[in-house]
Amino acid sequence: MFATSLTRRVALAAGLLATTSLAWSHADAAHVTAENAWARASVPGQQATGAFVRLTAKEPLRLVGVETPAAAVAEVHEMKMEGDVMRMRAIDSLDLPQGVAVELKPGGYHIMLQQLKAPLLKDTQVPITLVFKDGKDAVSRLSLQVPVQAMAPKGAAAAPAGHAGHQH
């Protein structure tokens, strides 16, 4: 009887573990595609840089966070003109409507990596994880290996006129 009870408990635990594992797998599988991701190379002593990507959500989502071991602070930022002054600020979330490509690019919404732990060197990659929430506040993540470039790669959005010299 003890063996049967133990076998049932092990089977139940294994079933719960499998269910939990599937739930975590689903929660960590963001329903979004990322294209043309890149991060701007930095130089020794530079404390911040930007990363850029085109995101298309398969369901309505919000980009609510960024994680990377490369920087002490990683945030979604908005850059916009206020009068004739370009302003940049962190935002809490960025809406990603279903099926609509949203560009995170120089001069607009972008990922800001601050307090870099080491320079981001051209032709390397930086791990970046994007954190999303759906309409029910369920969290999902998309982990990327983002190529580091000195300039926007072909097909990616480049800096708008007058912004090319701004390094972040």
Residue 144 confidence (pLDDT) above 50: yes
- Reported pTM: 0.75
Residues 22 and 4: their CA atoms lie apart, in Å, by 27
Return the pLDDT at 7. 42
What does the pLDDT average to over 153-159? 63
Tokens of 39: 């991060």
Residues 8 and 44: their CA atoms lie apart, in Å, by 59
What does the pLDDT average to over 138-161? 81
Residue 114 confidence (pLDDT) above 60: yes
Tokens of 163: 């912004």
CB atoms within 10 A of CB 163: 14
pLDDT tens by residue, 30-81: 689 999 999 999 999 999 999 999 999 999 999 999 999 999 999 999 988 8
Residues 158 and 156: their CA atoms lie apart, in Å, by 6
Report which residue type is found at 103. E
Tokens of 5: 């009870």
Q: How confident is the model at residue 164 (pLDDT cuts 50, 70, 90)?
A: very low
Return the pLDDT at 149. 96
CB atoms within 10 A of CB 132: 23
CB atoms within 10 A of CB 86: 13
Residue 11 confidence (pLDDT) above 70: no
The owner of tokens 């759906």 is: 134
